[in-house]
Structures are given as C-alpha cells and as structure tokens.
Amino acid sequence: EAGVAQSPRYKIIEKRQSVAFWCNPISGHATLYWYQQILGQGPKLLIQFQNNGVVDDSQLPKDRFSAERLKGVDSTLKIQPAKLEDSAVYLCASSLVGGRVNEQFFGPGTRLTVL
C-alpha cells in the first residue's frame, strides 16, 4: 500500500514570495490534515479536511495561508506572501473515518526555508 506522498521535499524562497505544497493521501482515506512543525516543536494542525469539506481551520493564518482539496483526494497548501516565521516542515497526514484507533499516517513532509 502506497503511503502519503508530498512534494516538493525541500523549498527555499525569499520572504514575500509565494509557495505551494502538494499532498496525495493514502487511497481511500477520507480525512486529510496539514500540520506545521517548527524546529524543536511538535506538529501543530493547520487545517483538516473530510472529503473536500473543511472540518477545522481554526489555527490556519487565513490572511496568508490557503488550502484546498478538490474532488476529495489531493490537496494543496499555499502561502502568499511568506514570512520568515513560516520556515518549518509542513506535514500532510491522512486517516480513515471511524475505527477504534483511527491513526493518522504521515507523509515525509516539505521543509520550507524562508530567507
């Protein structure tokens, strides 16, 4: 079974530029998550989708971050314009709906450096 795919793996941009990250979840997983992990910290949820609807985006800086999940499969996270403090690893995860454990499966992440 293929895991969660993310691209690119690394991205370096200058502040005020825009950037986009792509995520392809595990086939059949209805729920998709984007987390931001700043160096030395645990991941923090940015946005959660179930199919193509948003479940939780309370911690998404909506003035600069946006995300979409067209057709309930792939997802794109965009930052425009980027700030220095956006330097982090952006992790995508997916999970099934229901089940006792319902663990989240994570992709390899995209490491963003904003100069």
Partner 1 sequence: AQKITQTQPGMFVQEKEAVTLDCTYDTSDPSYGLFWYKQPSSGEMIFLIYQGSYDQQNATEGRYSLNFQKARKSANLVISASQLGDSAMYFCAMRAIQGAQKLVFGQGTRLTINP
Q: Could you list the residues that contact partner 1 (CB under 8 A)?
A: 31, 33, 40-45, 48, 55-56, 89, 91, 93, 95, 100-109, 111
3-state secondary structure of 65: strand
As measured in angstroms, the least distance from the Cβ of 18 to partner 1 is 23
As measured in angstroms, the least distance from the Cβ of 30 to partner 1 is 11
Query: Measured from the CB atom, is 79 or 91 closer to partner 1?
Result: 91
CA angle 108, 20, 59 (to 5 degrees): 80
Question: Which of 113, 115, 114, 106 shows the shortest CA–CA distance to 42?
Answer: 106
CA 102 to chain CA mean position, Å: 18
Query: Measured from the CB atom, is 64 or 106 closer to partner 1?
Result: 106
- Measured distance CA(89)–CA(39) in Å, rounded: 8
As measured in angstroms, the least distance from the Cβ of 22 to partner 1 is 16
As measured in angstroms, the least distance from the Cβ of 37 to partner 1 is 9
Query: Measured from the CB atom, is 56 or 68 closer to partner 1?
Result: 56
Question: Which of 115, 106, 101 shows the shortest CA–CA distance to 36?
Answer: 106
